[in-house]
Amino acid sequence: MIRSLAAGLLLSIALQACAHRAADPAPTAVAVEIRDTPPAELLACPQRPAGFPEDAVATMPKAVREAAIRLAQGYAEAVDQLERLIAWHDKDGCDAQG
């Protein structure tokens, strides 16, 4: 019983303190002027290199194979991101260039 009274008292004090605080101002919009067209070299679609030949056989140590896979995946993700950025600027993007 005493605990609930004490909790109620503390809660009422805390709520009164919140009631007297000034409201946070609403966020304001900020406009930043940007160039309409990025430089041409930034809009050039990346060329994807050919992978390893399918008719060749090689033995690689596990660490080398895993490193090659990480590099290939990282490159593919970077190219995908660049193509999405180009498509965001130009809806046809790299699809129109082949």
Q: What is the pLDDT of residue 63?
A: 96
Residue 76 has pLDDT above 60, yes or no: yes
Q: Is residue 72 part of a domain?
A: yes
Residue 82 has pLDDT above 70, yes or no: yes
Q: Is residue 6 part of a domain?
A: no
Q: Is residue 9 part of a domain?
A: no
Answer for the pair 45, 83: CB distance below 8 angstroms, yes or no. Answer: yes
The domain of 78 spans 56-98
Q: Is residue 67 part of a domain?
A: yes
Q: Is residue 65 part of a domain?
A: yes
Alpha helices in 39-90 (DSSP H): 40-43, 62-89
Q: Other C-beta atoms within 10 Å of 51: how many?
A: 7
Give per-residue burial for 13-26: e unless 16+ CB within 10 Å, then b.
Answer: eeeeeeeeeeeeee
Q: Is residue 83 part of a domain?
A: yes
Threshold 0.75, pTM exceeds: no
Q: What are phi and psi of 22, to 5 degrees?
A: -70, 140
CA distance 77 to 80: 5
- pLDDT, one tens digit per residue, over 10-58 is 556 655 655 556 666 788 888 877 767 777 888 888 888 888 898 988 8
Q: Is residue 20 part of a domain?
A: no
Domain count for the chain: 1
Q: Is residue 73 part of a domain?
A: yes
